[in-house]
Amino acid sequence: MLEEAHRRLERGTDVVVALVESHGRPLTEALLDGLAQVPRKVVRYRDAEFAEMDLDGVLARRPQVALVDELAHTNVPGSRHAKRWQDVQELLDAGITVITTVNIQHLESLNDVVAEITGVPQRETVPDEIVRRADQIELVDMTPEALRRRMAHGNIYAPTKVDAALSNYFRVGNLTALRELGLLWLADKVDDQLDRYRADHHITDTWEARERVVVALSGGPEGDTLIRRAARIADRTKGTDLVAVHIARADGLTGPGPVHLGRQRTLVESLGGTFHQVIGSDIPSALLDFARGVNATQLVLGASRRGRIAQLFTRGVGVTTTAGSGAIDVHLVTHEQAPARRHRVRFTGRGALTRRRQTAGFVVAVVGMPALTLLLTLLRGQLSLPSDILTLLLGVVAVALVGGLLPAVLAAVLGFLLLNYFFVAPIHQFTIAQGENLLALLAFVLVAVAVSLVVDLAARRTTQATRAQAEAATLSTLAGSVLRGARPLPALLERVRETFGQDSVTLLERVPDTAAGPGLRHEPQAWRVVGCVGGPPCAVPADGAADVPIDDHLTLVLRGPVLAAGDRRVLAAFAAEAAVALRQERLAAQAAELSQLTELDRLRTALLTAVSHDFRTPLAAAKASVTSLRSPDVTFSPADRAELLATAEESLDRLTRLVENLLDMSRLQAGGMAIHRQPISVAELIPRALDELGELGRPVVVPEADDLPDAWADAALLERVLANLIANAVRYSPPDRPPTVTVSEHDDRVEVRVVDHGPGVPVDDHERIFLPFQRLGDTDNTTGLGLGLALSRGLTEAMNGTLTPESTPGGGLTMTVALPVVDGEHGPVPDDDRADAVLIDQVDEWSRPHQGSR
């Protein structure tokens, strides 16, 4: 806003700062230099003074442009208006242009959404309509990461408030959600402007600036299916509008009952769409006019409920609408009310022309040959017999091109009879007076049949080529599905079922050690199902309409329509690929088992390597100290004796911690860790964790936490987790930037954030740091077994909490421990927690001395 003020000021515009809140930010205050400001008005309220915008002073100054910050601000009681946006309205009424600012979370329509996302209710809001009245709206967009970096650099809040702000309101998730809300809200505003522009300029063509799906409802029961299908299409793209429309007849004839439309209107509105009803005499035209009027990009229609005979006379709404849709994509959706038709992708065994073309050929032969004869009789005096024969021969060739061999033979016979009756003397008799005429007629029939055979052979070759191409495409898709799929066998069987139009496809495997015999195909005990799609599986090969043996053990069984003989060759290729897919799945399962064994072996090797070093070091130190103390050859002073005892005690304590970590890790992996959860104050545990760590050599910043609810946790285990995380943070933080430990509440969880500003960890390695027996590149092997973070996450999750890492803005690593909040103030333990507590109390009877000593 201030940068825009400077641009206008340079152009000579009279710009005045009516009110700008700098909040002590140096960059904001620097932009105020050079801008005229109206002094603020001091308002007293309850013995306190508040500085508010001097509305009368701005009106008296009458600038061309006034800058007013924080549009949603609530004025101090006693001001002329309760809200600042009302002050802005008065400035606008006075002819003063206002440039103002508002955050997306302060819009009234988004108030509850923002509160649900961020957990922070906004008490200061501004009506959306006030903002929408603006002549121009500019979205000041910034990525969440960039905004967090600005905050980490101290450009927004004081350094003491940065960590708390980043860990609460200014999380990446919160900022991303607010950013999306802002983009979507502004998109609605831009969409309104676009609609006004199109209306003002009489533009009816579809502009695909935004996806808008229109579903046409006839008022029948199929409307529910269409609405849900349209909603799924709209959900594929965020921000897509769903619009339902019913076209009522303009002639006043009885339409559909209101029951279905009422239910469908409720369904549309529950899915976030709008319902409209318009009147039109021509339904396709009215539907397209409405779709173009709302700038629709997709139109969803139901398949026609009329039969095939009715569709021969009129094209119907769906076909007519599709033909005139232009740039609008039309979806024709099938439903239960549409006539039942089975469309199958099948390979047929016929090598000649299709039945439709043959039928057309017969029609042309029966109608065309008499028509040619009539034409020739009209030209009897102008044409000779050879011309008549050639003309009818052309008719036979035309029939052959249309319908193939059989219609052409019929045409040739008809041509022979017609020539004999109408053109060969004696006319109008089926007799032949001259032998050459008989020869001409026989030649006519032979030529006609020969031409028909050639045409039919060409059609046969074309069909075979098309079939080969379809088979090649199917086999290519088949091979790709096997190579790409994680579990290719179900996808392959589904492909078989779709390709051959079957009800179910089953892959059977013969039970090992089953004797082969003629009745094996009928014995259910001899087979087991290893894969099936579609309907109920076939228990034996004899249950299917077709079965293809793959090898001695596998058989592919199909249940459904009988296959043509030519389909078996392609089906055999499918069956062979099914065997390959089955072996691929089994090899993948074996590889997964081997991977688990390899991981266990790796852990075992890492454990032995770590134990061989980390156990030997404290054992050697303790043994050396005790051996020295027991040696009769050396006399130690009291100070030396105390130092050796301290060394032995320290080494044994370190060894005890290593053993406890190993035991706790094994208990966690076995599910036998004893957890006693109870309401605890997390903020009070942080000093205890620091005390457990002893002298750290550098400070740890722990800001004072607000009044926070208690969390459900095991105090001893949580203290151990915090101590480990703080020790890591201290170890990696630079001396001039000590680590910080903050506690806050978010989304019914208490969160402890341990923030360091060290070298950090790459995002790709965030999960690797929790693997046991590794130190992620650490060369210092004196710090333990590499179990600290793995054990900390395990203990946290055992308390129904989470431990997640994230990068610290500006560099470093932040570890967040989130624990569930107690329901109510010292509320009762839920049933599952109460049972857990009772069980653990019983277990603790024998483990209590150990816990006490620890």
Cis geometry, peptide bond prior to residue 426 (ω within 30 degrees of 0)? yes
CA pair distance 322, 53, nearest whole angstrom: 60
What pLDDT score does 308 carry? Answer: 59
Residue among 781, 493, 799 nearest 674 (CA): 799
Number of H helices, E strands in the chain: 26, 21
pLDDT, residue 53, reads 92
pLDDT score, position 6: 94
Q: The whole model's pTM is what? A: 0.42
* pLDDT confidence of residue 57: 93
* Spatial distance between the Cα atoms of 282 and 32, rounded to a whole number of angstroms: 63
Closest CA to 678 of 843, 513, 820: 820
Per the CB < 8 A criterion, the answer to whether 820 and 802 are in contact is: no
Q: Are strands 749-755 and 740-746 parallel, antiparallel or unpaired?
A: antiparallel
Cα 319 from Cα 302, distance rounded (Å): 11
Report pLDDT for 779.
42
According to the model, what pLDDT value does residue 468 have?
A: 65
The pLDDT of residue 286 is 87
- Which of helix, strand or coil describes residue 96? coil
Q: 243 near 282, Cβ under 8 Å?
A: no
Those residues with Cβ within 8 angstroms of residue 712's Cβ, 6 or more apart along the chain or in another chain: 677, 678, 679, 680, 799, 800, 819, 820, 821, 822, 829, 833
Residues 660, 666, 669: CA angle, nearest 5 degrees: 140
State the first-to-last Cα distance of the chain, in angstroms, to the nearest integer.
61
Question: Which ranges of the chain have pLDDT less than 50?
Answer: 253-254, 341-351, 486, 777-785, 825-854
Q: Report the C-alpha gap between 257 and 255 in whole angstroms.
A: 7
Q: What amino acid is encoded at 718 in this protein?
A: L
For the chain, the C-alpha Rg in angstroms (whole number) is: 43
Question: By C-alpha distance, which of 806, 804, 745 is closest to 118?
Answer: 745
805 Rama sector, left if φ>0, alpha if ψ -120 to 50, beta otherwise: beta
From residue 597, how far is each of 38, 55, 530, 601, 819 by CA, in Å? 76, 77, 26, 6, 34
368 close to 392: Cβ distance less than 8 angstroms: no
Give the pLDDT of residue 685: 85
| 679-697 pLDDT tens trace | 988 888 888 888 877 777 7
Q: How high is the pLDDT of residue 838?
A: 31
The Cα-based distances of 640 to 645, 646, 687 in angstroms read 9, 10, 33
Between CA 80 and CA 89 the distance in angstroms is 12
Alpha-carbon distance of 340 to 344, in angstroms, equals: 13
